Amino acid sequence: MSTTTIILICIGAYMLFLIGLGLYANKKRSSNTLKDFYLAGGNLGPFVLLLTLYATQYSSNTMLVVPAEVVNQGMGMILVLGYMTAIVVLYLTFAPQLFKVSKKHDFITPGDWFDKRFNLPLLTLVANLMLVIVSVNFLLSQLIAMGHIANGITEGQIPYWAGVVFLAFVVIIYETLGGMRAVAWTDVIQGLMLFIGLAGLFIIVVPGVDELTEISTWLMENEPKKIGVPSLDFRIYWASTVLMIGLGGAVYPQVIQRIYAAKTIRALKKSLGAMVFMPLITVLILFLLGVISIPYFVETTAASKDTVLPQMLQLWSQKSSLAFILMIIVVLGLLAAIMSSADSILLSLSSIISKDILGKSILKNSTDEQLAKTGKIISWIIMFLVVLVALQPKITLWGLIELKMQIMIQVAPLFILGVHSKRITSRGMLVGLVIGFLFSIITFFMGYKTLAGIQSGLIGFALNVLACFIFSNPSHNKSDINYED
């Protein structure tokens, strides 16, 4: 039996397992309420919460982009370690306070926080539309990654389009069957598989002293720019990117809903505390695997370097039987992590559109059960449309990340300032949000992704925060939240 056939059998068996888990989660639901479907009843303990955050956070944005960007940019990409660490640090600045308020007022979506804190329907609508744009972008990147991995690890026997369509179909099946409960359960398995596979594979492929010397010599002779100290412009660019991704990544709608889904404040804090160490375990390994891969992709274009990890997995799997087994675990873990992010995003998207947008307009008098059913239908529609776009990708995964974060960072003040500052009012927040969004999008599409080496989205964020304070009048604050809770 060929290695590709074995891989295909393992992927097929795992996909059937996910569908079965979705069916089981559907049977275990306690009610047809929005809280049960979108938040698993709000009863996630520390272990499940940790692994669902881990599997969701470490998606295609990390798994494929880190090795690809190390190959593109060189060893200066060690700065990527700061991305994921910054996200976790920023979680800790507002998540505990947000959790307390969410439990008291039974929040389901990010929009519930916007309504309670700012009490301005227009602000909630604008913020939700921005979250929808970002989430569609995020979902698109996951589908593109699915296609690249399926195609790469099977040496082209699974066409890119087939990987996108088949895996997207599996995601939509178990997501609509089991909701957050199915997603969280699969995340536990996916997180463990990913960690074990990456750690084991790294032990096998990590170069010895002699081989490491050869790689270093080759880099100095053939790619000196990739081994030298990054330029000042590069360091400014990546420092601003770390801050932008940290702020934006901490307020993803699917992450906010996981904060709501925590069983207790202690469970949330324990999970976030453990998340601090995950970048060292995951991103550092991916960085080193990227360094080892540089000599194999000298003439490859930047766009096709999104397939660095799948192609190298095929190569490394030939080292030994153990390496092959670990490669299969990594592949399943990679697919699982990416699918986990996709289903989480899809779940958040459907909840925002069904509850916060349609539920406040044409479905205003609908019951929880009707809104949950509507959300499932919306999930199918969204997935169909995004799959069509993913079949003809026109941008790299890193390009999608930059675009997404330019927008996502503008939503961060609604949570961070909203939690900590009584002075910020709905008027100030709305003006700041619009100014930051327009500045970031206009500069991005005009080709000015950075200004003086600083991400334009981060500059937009600074203008956003400044406008929040300038246009806020504390005497007009309509919030009735008790910040001492």
Burial of 474 (0-12, 13-18, 19+ CB in 10 A): exposed
Q: What is the pLDDT of residue 417?
A: 92
pLDDT of 20 strictly over 60: yes
pLDDT on residue 485: 46
Q: How confident is the model over 355-385, as pLDDT tens digits?
A: 888 888 888 878 877 887 888 888 888 888 8
pLDDT attached to residue 383? 87
The predicted model gives 148-171 an average pLDDT of 81
Q: Which DSSP string corresponds to 20-44?
A: HHHHHHHHH-S-SSHHHHHHGGG-B
Helix (H) or strand (E) holding 334: helix 321-351
- Name the least confident of 73-87, 116-130, 136-150, 461-475: 73-87
CA torsion 382-388-391-392 (nearest 10°) is: -120
Higher pLDDT, 292 or 182: 292
Fold of the CATH domain 3-101+129-398: Sodium/glucose cotransporter (1.20.1730)
pLDDT of 468 over the 90 cut: yes
pLDDT classification of 386: cutoffs 50, 70, 90: confident
Terminal Cα distance for the chain, rounded: 62
Phi-psi region for residue 428, left (φ > 0), alpha (ψ -120 to 50) or beta?
A: alpha
- Is it the case that residue 197 has pLDDT exceeding 80? no
Residue 200 has pLDDT above 80, yes or no: no
pLDDT of residue 50: 83
Q: What is the pLDDT of residue 97?
A: 92
Write the DSSP string, 281-293: HHHHHHHHHHHHH
Q: Which pLDDT value is given to residue 484?
A: 47
pLDDT for 304 equals: 56
Q: What is the mean pLDDT of the chain?
A: 81
DSSP string, 103-131: HHHT--SHHHHHHHHH--HHHHHHHHHHH
* Residue 307 clears pLDDT 90, i.e. is over it: no
pLDDT at 298: 72
Reading phi first (left if > 0) and then psi (alpha if -120 to 50, else beta), residue 44 is in beta
Q: Residue 479's pLDDT is what?
A: 57
Distances from the Cα of 203 to the Cαs of 71, 323, 388, 398, in angstroms?
20, 10, 39, 28
- Residues forming a β-bridge with 454: 451
pLDDT of residue 343: 78
* pLDDT of 58 above 50: yes
Structure token pair of residue 310: 């799948």
Confidence band of 224 (pLDDT split at 50, 70, 90): confident
Is a pLDDT exceeding 70 seen at residue 137? yes
Least confident of 189-203, 235-249, 456-470: 189-203
Residue 480 predicted with pLDDT over 60: no
- Report the percentage of the chain scoring pLDDT > 70: 91
- Write the CB contacts of 464 (distance below 8 Å, at least 6 apart in sequence): 410, 413, 432, 433, 435, 436, 437
Q: What H or E segment, with its residue span, contains residue 454?
A: strand 454-455
- Whether 415 has a pLDDT exceeding 90, the answer reads yes
**Which pairs from 387-395 meet CB under 8 Å and 24+ separation?**
387/143, 387/164, 387/165, 387/168, 389/140, 390/140, 390/143, 390/144, 390/147, 390/164, 390/168, 391/161, 391/164, 391/165, 393/144
Q: What's the mean pLDDT in 158-173?
A: 85
Q: At 217, list the tokens.
A: 């010599």
pLDDT of residue 483: 46
Cα separations in angstroms, 271 against 8, 42, 80, 95, 99: 34, 15, 22, 11, 13
Residue 68 CB: number of other CB atoms within 10 A?
A: 28
Reported as a pLDDT band with limits 50, 70 and 90, residue 1 is: low
Q: Give yes or no for residue 427 having a pLDDT over 80.
A: yes
Q: Give the residue-averaged pLDDT of 285-297.
A: 82
